[in-house]
Structure formats: C-alpha cells, structure tokens
C-alpha cells in the first residue's frame, strides 16, 4: 500500500509540472538510478514545448522502445484467458475462505473467460450446493468434482478428469496461489503450447529443494501446454501406481511428465515462496518485480503486512486493489528519490 501510494504521488507530482492538453508530442522517461543500476522508469507523453524543456533535464531521456521499462512487453498477448483452465484441489472450508481471493485474479479485463476446475473429497459432496453457490456468488466459472482420493492424489487425478476439457493451457496450482493474469498471458504468449515441455519454478528455500528435489513446485503453478498435457494426462493411471507414495502432488505430476519425455523448463516469475521467517522488505527488494506471474503462501508461511493485524484475505485484497491503480510496468517497482 505504501509503495503504491508513493508511486502514485510521484506520478502526480511530476505530471503537475507538465502542460495539459494534446499528447501528440514525444514520450519521455523519468529514470531513477541507484549505484548505477536502473531502479525505476516512468513514461510520460508530453507536448512538443514541454519536450524541448524536458531534454534539458539530465534524468530524463527519449524513450525509443515505446515504453520506458525495458524487458516489459506491451504487445497484445497471443492467448486470451479463455485459453486457460486452472485446476485446484481443495476442501469446503478452504472454498469458504478462498473463493473471494480467487475472484480477485479470475476477474478483470485480462481474466475474462478463464475457467477453473475445483476438486474436493467425495465425503464433502453433501456440501455441493453450498460450494457451487459460493462460486456462483463470486461469478467464478468453475467446474466442481468430488473424487474419492485424498488431497495429494486428488490433484493428480484431476489431470485425468481434465481430458474432458479442451484448452490451450492447463495450469495446476494450490488454492492459495495468486496469479497476475495479464503477466500470465504475456508469459504464455512467449511459449509454445505444442511443445513437449511443462513449466514452473522450484522453491526459494534451498532446504526444500535439497529435501524434495528439483521439479515444478505446485504453489508457484505448474503449466502445461495442450500437447504436453495430453501426453501426461493419459499416463495418470499407470504413474499413480508408480508415484502415489511421493510426498506432494506437484512431484507426482512432474515425475509423470518426465516419464513421458516431457522437459521441465523453469520460469523465473513464478514464485513458490516457501519462506517461513520474517519477510519484511521482500516485496520492496526487487526480487518480485513487475513481471510477476504468481505468488504463494501469503498469510500462512509469512504475512504480507508484517506486524499488522490484517488477515491474509484482507491483505491480498488490499494489495490487489492497490496494484489495479498502477500501470502494469510500475508494479512492485522501487522509487529512489
């Protein structure tokens, strides 16, 4: 919240000094440097008279790339949200708590048409009407299945269930994974849905990686294009018997994919965040940047607002609303002034 307010105030303060009216002039960048490293850039379209004045200010320069921020694509994504289906294994208690959080990232101009698949244990089928009602209340386009498997196995068997759904991309995640849909679509647009590759990230915690190994960690999101998904999903019955005793559903799915000669490719902007200590400064550090695709474990392993009496749902809601006020290229950017 503080970062968002700082950026908005900086934008407003700089804009006050520029003439209003036509934006037919040049686009200029306000660049902030610290120790010779680019900290932040802000883009402004200004009139020709203001442009000539701006050129005399050392910290401002002409932007030749269409946007100040290098490495941030503003091109229209190749895929739409309707090309994605997200699968989550969960419980009735978790649906009650998390449906409003899912709505934060499944709604909005970039998320129209995204589908989700929610699997629960068959013993909770008595709550089917309640679950479907909660999802409908939050305008979530989710299919609900009650399966006889425990949580970890349910996530794996959901893959086989999804053979009934046609999609370009199939994403498997924990129910407390938070996606940034515009960045997800940009990321998918750089990938090939027909490749024999699945995508994800490992844990930031070296002890977790040492203990469990290197594969796609589920909290960050496990992404399959259609081709890799079909090859892996058809193998679920056999690989369940082979890998059903493993610790987590994400490792099971990864091993199933490996057995089908599907390659794992790591994406830097998916974040597992197995961080159980004080993470004060994490979101201000630059580790999570404007290209962030997912975050995980907010409110369970760490607090989004350390020291504040804010529950996890309210915290992620505050952050989501603050970020919606900012252009995507300015999210999670530090301001040195």
Query: Quick one: pLDDT band at residue 7, thresholds 50, 70, 90?
Result: very low
Name the phi and psi angles at 184, rounded to 5. Answer: -60, -45
pLDDT in tens, 59-92: 333 333 334 444 555 667 889 999 999 999 999 9
User: What pLDDT, on a 0 to 100 scale, did the predictor assign at position 336?
Assistant: 57
- Judge whether residue 145 has pLDDT over 60: yes
**Which is higher by pLDDT, 222 or 333?**
222
Q: Which of 68-72, 226-230, 244-248 has the highest mean pLDDT?
A: 226-230
Of 184, 169, 120, nearest to 149 by C-alpha is 120
- Judge whether residue 234 has pLDDT over 80: yes
CA 223, CA 173: separation in Å to the nearest integer?
9
Q: Among all chains, which residue has been given the structure tokens 């932040």?
A: 40
User: What pLDDT, on a 0 to 100 scale, did the predictor assign at position 152?
Assistant: 94
User: What pLDDT, on a 0 to 100 scale, did the predictor assign at position 337?
Assistant: 54
Torsion over CA of 136, 138, 144 and 148, rounded to 10 degrees?
-120
pLDDT in tens, 84-121: 999 999 999 999 999 999 999 998 778 888 999 999 99
**Which is higher by pLDDT, 55 or 175?**
175
In this structure, are residues 308 and 92 in contact, taking their beta carbons and an 8 Å threshold?
no
CA 151, CA 154: separation in Å to the nearest integer?
5
pLDDT in tens, 11-65: 333 333 333 333 344 444 444 434 344 444 444 444 444 434 434 433 333 333 3
User: What pLDDT, on a 0 to 100 scale, did the predictor assign at position 312?
Assistant: 87
User: What pLDDT, on a 0 to 100 scale, did the predictor assign at position 300?
Assistant: 83
Query: Quick one: pLDDT band at residue 253, thresholds 50, 70, 90?
Result: very high
User: What pLDDT, on a 0 to 100 scale, did the predictor assign at position 269?
Assistant: 94
Query: Quick one: pLDDT band at residue 279, thresholds 50, 70, 90?
Result: confident
**Which is higher by pLDDT, 46 or 304?**
304
User: What pLDDT, on a 0 to 100 scale, did the predictor assign at position 23?
Assistant: 37
Q: Among 216-220, 258-262, 302-306, where is mean pLDDT lowest? A: 302-306
Average pLDDT over all residues of the chain:
80
Average pLDDT over residues 294-320: 86
- Please, which contacts does 37-43 make with residues 24 or more away whose CB atoms are closer than 8 Å? 38/70, 39/333, 39/334, 39/335, 39/336, 40/330, 40/333, 40/334, 40/335, 40/336, 41/68, 41/69, 42/10, 42/11, 42/14, 42/68, 42/330, 43/67, 43/68, 43/69, 43/329
pLDDT in tens, 177-202: 999 999 999 999 999 999 999 999 99
């Amino acid at each position: 919240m503080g970062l968002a307010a700082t950026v908005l105030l900086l934008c407003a303060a700089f804009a006050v000094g520029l003439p209003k009216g036509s934006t037919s002039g040049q686009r200029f960048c306000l660049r902030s440097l610290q120790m010779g490293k680019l900290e932040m850039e802000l883009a402004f379209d200004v009139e020709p008279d203001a442009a000539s004045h701006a050129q005399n200010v050392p910290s401002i320069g002409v932007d030749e790339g269409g946007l100040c921020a290098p490495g941030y694509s503003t091109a229209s994504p190749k895929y739409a949200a309707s090309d994605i289906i997200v699968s989550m294994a969960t419980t009735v208690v978790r649906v009650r708590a998390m449906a409003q959080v899912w709505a934060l990232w499944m709604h909005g101009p970039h998320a129209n048409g995204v589908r989700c698949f929610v699997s629960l244990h068959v013993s909770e089928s008595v709550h089917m009407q309640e679950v479907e009602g909660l999802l409908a209340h939050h305008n979530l386009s989710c299919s609900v299945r009650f399966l006889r498997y425990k949580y970890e196995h349910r996530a794996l068997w959901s893959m086989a269930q999804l053979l009934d759904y046609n999609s370009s991309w199939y994403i498997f995640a924990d129910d407390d994974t938070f996606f940034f849909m515009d960045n997800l679509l940009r990321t998918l647009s750089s990938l090939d849905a027909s490749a024999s590759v699945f995508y994800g990230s490992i844990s930031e915690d070296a002890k977790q990686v040492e203990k469990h190994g290197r594969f796609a960690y589920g909290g960050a999101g496990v992404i399959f294009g259609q081709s890799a998904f079909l090859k892996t999903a058809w193998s679920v019955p056999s690989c369940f018997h082979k890998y059903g005793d493993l610790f987590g559903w994400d490792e099971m799915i990864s091993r199933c994919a490996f057995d089908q000669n599907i390659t794992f490719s790591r994406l830097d902007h998916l974040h597992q965040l197995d961080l159980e200590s004080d993470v004060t400064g994490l979101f201000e550090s630059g580790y999570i940047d404007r290209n962030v695709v997912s975050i995980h474990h907010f409110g369970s392993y760490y607090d989004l607002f350390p020291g504040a009496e804010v529950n996890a749902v309210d915290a992620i809601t505050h952050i989501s609303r603050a970020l919606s006020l900012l252009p995507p290229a300015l999210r999670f950017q530090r301001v040195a002034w």
